[in-house]
Amino acid sequence: MIRYIRRAAGLSLLLLVALLVNAVRVMLVEADELDADPANRRIAISRWERPRGEILVDGRPVTGSRDSGQQLRWERTYPQGPLYAPVTGYASQTYGTSLLENAEDELLSGADPMLAPLPLWNDVTRGRNPGGDVVTTIRARMQEAAFRGLAGRRGAVVAIQPWSGRILALVSSPSYDPGVLSGTGREVKRSWQHLTTSPDQPMLARAIRQTYPPGSTFKIVTAAAALDAGVVTDVDAPTDTPDPFVLPGTRRVLPNEAKGCADASLADAVRWSCNTVMAGLGVKVGLEKMVEAAGNFGFNDPGLRVPSWVARSNFDTDMSPDQLALSSIGQFNTAATPLQMALVAAAVANNGEIPRPHLIERTTTAGGTTLTTTVRRTYRRAMTPSTATRLQDLMVRAVTEGTGTNAAIPGARVGGKTGTAQHGPDNTGTPYAWFIAWAQAADSAQPAVAVAVVVEDAEANRTDISGGGDAAPIARAVMEEGLRGEAEGR
């Protein structure tokens, strides 16, 4: 009987080995695959088991976390949701993340290996790090001024510091409260449904994700190209353009909203926003040089990140002369994000150089130790410094005595350019009102702020050379806050 007992014991041993081998299969061999299975809630649980790091504006968090007591424990809160939604985006347990919450997710969620003080030791203890913080470049008062200015109308405002590329305000309107998407459940689903189907597209970060025909504000680009290419050498000399202007190769006549544009100088054309002059100059500069100039301002760049991804602004590269003429005044297929047009203003203000725009000043651990600092880098060289100086002058004149008088700030040097972008079939849609500008305090060596404002549903008188009416006051309010901030900062 002993032999059979031994065999029975051998069978038990076999069963034990089978269990161990199978355990190795599940726990080691297939583990990575199982851990990464989307149906495995552990991924979400560990992601939300700590409060996320905060996004800071002016040193104060504009985000928060709430202990939901649920399985996914910490939910994101946004005390001033709609105001900062275009900056922060949402961090939802149901729908993922967007914008800064998305771009800096690793850091905010605590997964970033940089957060571990001793990486190897962390692997051993399996300690989890609290999420790091993101310090933004946004100035709360400018953001608020822009948000107030848009007052719920569809549109966007971008303000940047011309010499550094810091994005000081990034506003999109109408906005939404990202907090309603934070958690899980039916309420969140309903909110999502509502937000994504609303005709107002509140979740669209218009400032960086929506492109608009830039209209007359694009004339700054054309003017820079004409000056750099030597097509215009004296800004006050007549440009030899007829009014009305017949688009080359067609019988279509390009009208002017302004008067006195026949044969006007570049200075007057910028001041009064003459379509004819600028269209003619664009054709004279030529397709190749115009494409190059637009590219030097950042057009046609599909990969810009601030670090949220920025939609590509478009200037067509293959056009007939009449299309080129229309494109040179910001029509046809030309399209730009508000951020792109703020960069145009910044290029002029910063003597032709565009610093890389960025939203993040630095990132820190939860304890405040700096992890990364955004270093100032050149993004594009848009024009020569002398061209920039001349354009500054033209833009200042447009504000002091042209279409942009609504943007004038007493005691400060302000340059601006209005724009009215027509769209829709046969231009029957409500025109978009544009205004781009920069401002320099009288006692400052350099402009403190460049701004671009677009108001979609401008209730503008179509004949009025708009922008100045709807958009310029918003730009002024934002720039005033910018100048005040600069004065206080010194």
Partner 1 sequence: MTAAPPPTGAKDGKDARGERGARGAKDPGDAPPPGGCVPKRRGVEFSLLVGAVLISVLGYAEVGLARSGAVPPDAARYGAGLGFLSLLAHLAVRLRAPYADPLLLPIAVLLNGLGLVLIYRLDLETPGDRAAPTQLVWSTLGVGLFIAVVLLIRDHRVLQRYAYLSVAGALALMILPIFFPAVNGARIWIRIGGLSFQPGEFAKILLAVFFAAYLAANRTALAHAGRRIWRLQFPAGRVLGPIVAIWLLSVGVLVLERDLGTSLLFFGLFVIMLYVATGRTGWIAVGLLLASAGAFLVGSLEPHVHGRVQDWLDPYASIRAGDGPGQLAQSLFAFAAGGMQGTGLGLGHSVLIGFAAKSDFILATVGEELGLVGLSAFFLLYALLVARGYRAGLALRDAFGRLLAVGLASIVALQVFVIAGGVTGLIPLTGMAMPFLAQGGSSVVTNWVIVALLVRVSDSARTPRPDTADTGEIAPVTEDTR
Q: Is the dihedral of CA 101, 106, 107, 110 positive or negative?
A: positive
Q: What is the dihedral of CA 209, 215, 217, 218, to 10 degrees?
A: 80
User: Binding of partner 1 at residue 31 (CB under 8 A)?
Assistant: yes
Ramachandran class of 362: left when φ > 0, alpha when ψ lies in -120 to 50, beta otherwise: beta
Nearest to 84 by CA among 180, 178, 160: 178
Residue (24 or 237) nearer to partner 1, CB: 24
Q: What angle do CA 103, 104, 109 make, to 5 degrees?
A: 130
User: Binding of partner 1 at residue 253 (CB under 8 A)?
Assistant: no
Q: Which stretch binds partner 1 (CB under 8 A): 36-44, 187-195, 210-218, 428-436?
A: 36-44
Using CB under 8 A, pick the residue from 59, 60, 120, 126 that binds partner 1: 126
User: Binding of partner 1 at residue 34 (CB under 8 A)?
Assistant: yes
* Beta-ladder partners of 134: 55, 363
Residue (17 or 237) nearer to partner 1, CB: 17
User: Binding of partner 1 at residue 121 (CB under 8 A)?
Assistant: no
Residue (7 or 190) nearer to partner 1, CB: 7
Window 44-83: contact mask with partner 1 (x via CB under 8 A)? -x--------------------------------------
Q: Which of 164, 172, 216, 265 is catalytic?
A: 216
User: Binding of partner 1 at residue 28 (CB under 8 A)?
Assistant: yes
| Residue 273 appears among annotated catalytic residues | no
In the complex, minimum distance from the CB of residue 16 to partner 1, in angstroms, rounded to a whole number: 5
Tokens 């600028």 belong to residue: 278
Beta strands 378-381 and 412-421, pairing class? unpaired
User: Binding of partner 1 at residue 189 (CB under 8 A)?
Assistant: no
Q: Residue 479 corresponds to which amino acid?
A: M
Beta strands 245-246 and 253-254, pairing class? antiparallel
Q: Residue 40 corresponds to which amino acid?
A: N
Strand runs labelled E in 365-471: 370-373, 378-381, 412-421, 432-441, 449-455
User: Binding of partner 1 at residue 118 (CB under 8 A)?
Assistant: no
* Beta-ladder partners of 75: 66
In the complex, minimum distance from the CB of residue 34 to partner 1, in angstroms, rounded to a whole number: 4
User: Binding of partner 1 at residue 6 (CB under 8 A)?
Assistant: yes
DSSP state of 358: B
First to last CA, the chain: 98
Residue (127 or 152) nearer to partner 1, CB: 127
Nearest to 314 by CA among 219, 378, 218, 216: 218
In the complex, minimum distance from the CB of residue 43 to partner 1, in angstroms, rounded to a whole number: 10
- Residue 234 phi/psi, 5-degree rounding, is -120, 115
Residues 424-463 that bind partner 1 (CB under 8 A): none
User: Binding of partner 1 at residue 237 (CB under 8 A)?
Assistant: no
Whether residue 244 has a cis bond before it, omega within 30° of 0 = yes
* Beta-ladder partners of 439: 414, 449
Window 288-327: contact mask with partner 1 (x via CB under 8 A)? ----------------------------------------
**How is residue 190 written in tokens?**
């309903």
In the complex, minimum distance from the CB of residue 69 to partner 1, in angstroms, rounded to a whole number: 11
Q: Which stretch binds partner 1 (CB under 8 A): 33-41, 306-314, 363-371, 420-428?
A: 33-41
User: Binding of partner 1 at residue 1 (CB under 8 A)?
Assistant: yes
Beta strands 55-57 and 133-136, pairing class? parallel
- Helix 81-88 and helix 140-150: axis angle, to 10°? 110
User: Binding of partner 1 at residue 373 (CB under 8 A)?
Assistant: no
User: Binding of partner 1 at residue 3 (CB under 8 A)?
Assistant: yes
In the complex, minimum distance from the CB of residue 182 to partner 1, in angstroms, rounded to a whole number: 21
In the complex, minimum distance from the CB of residue 38 to partner 1, in angstroms, rounded to a whole number: 8
In the complex, minimum distance from the CB of residue 106 to partner 1, in angstroms, rounded to a whole number: 21
Residue (13 or 487) nearer to partner 1, CB: 13
Judge contact between 293 and 335, C-beta under 8 A. Answer: no
In the complex, minimum distance from the CB of residue 4 to partner 1, in angstroms, rounded to a whole number: 4
Which positions are annotated as active-site residues? 216
Applying CB under 8 A, the residues found at the interface with partner 1 are 1-9, 11-13, 15-16, 18-20, 22-24, 26-28, 30-35, 37, 39-42, 45, 126
